[in-house]
């Protein structure tokens, strides 16, 4: 009897989006925590959408590019995690049906 390495099954491959989503969620929340610590007040955080839009349009702010960049990266990573979880859900429905 020989020991063979079996190829990964569909169950093992379905773990990749879950791990990716967990990593993206933790990264996104960390970026939001850093941006909240960088802003140091609630009034600046209330202006966050305005700061991010100004950053996208190329208008400089008093904080420079750091705060809008942290908020943008945090938002994109959370959206990526939603996409990874949605992909896992969709692939599960395809496999079941």
Which of 91, 28, 94, 37 minimizes the C-alpha distance to 63?
37
So what's the pLDDT on residue 1?
54
So what's the pLDDT on residue 8?
60
So what's the pLDDT on residue 21?
92
pTM of the shown model: 0.73
Reported as a single tens digit per residue, the pLDDT across 69-86 is 888 899 999 999 999 999
Q: Calculate the CA 66 to chain-centre distance.
A: 18
Q: Show the low-confidence residues of the chain (pLDDT under 50).
A: none
DSSP, residue by residue, 20-84: HHHHHHHHHHHHHHHHHHHH-SHHHHHTHHHHHHHHHHT---TTTTHHHHHHHHHHHHHHHHHHH
Instruction: Give the DSSP letter of residue 14.
Output: T
- The tally of CA atoms less than 13 A away on the side-chain side of residue 50 is 8
**C-alpha dihedral (43, 48, 54, 59), degrees to nearest 10:** 50
């Amino acid at each position: 009897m020989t020991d063979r390495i079996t190829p990964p099954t569909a169950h093992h491959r379905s773990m990749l989006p879950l791990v990716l989503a967990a990593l993206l969620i933790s990264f996104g929340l960390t970026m939001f925590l850093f941006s909240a610590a960088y802003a140091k007040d609630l009034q600046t955080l209330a202006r966050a959408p305005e700061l991010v839009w100004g950053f996208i349009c190329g208008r400089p702010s008093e904080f420079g590019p750091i705060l809008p960049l942290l908020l943008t990266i945090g938002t994109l990573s959370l959206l990526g995690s939603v996409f990874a979880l949605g992909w896992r859900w969709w692939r599960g429905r395809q496999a079941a049906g």
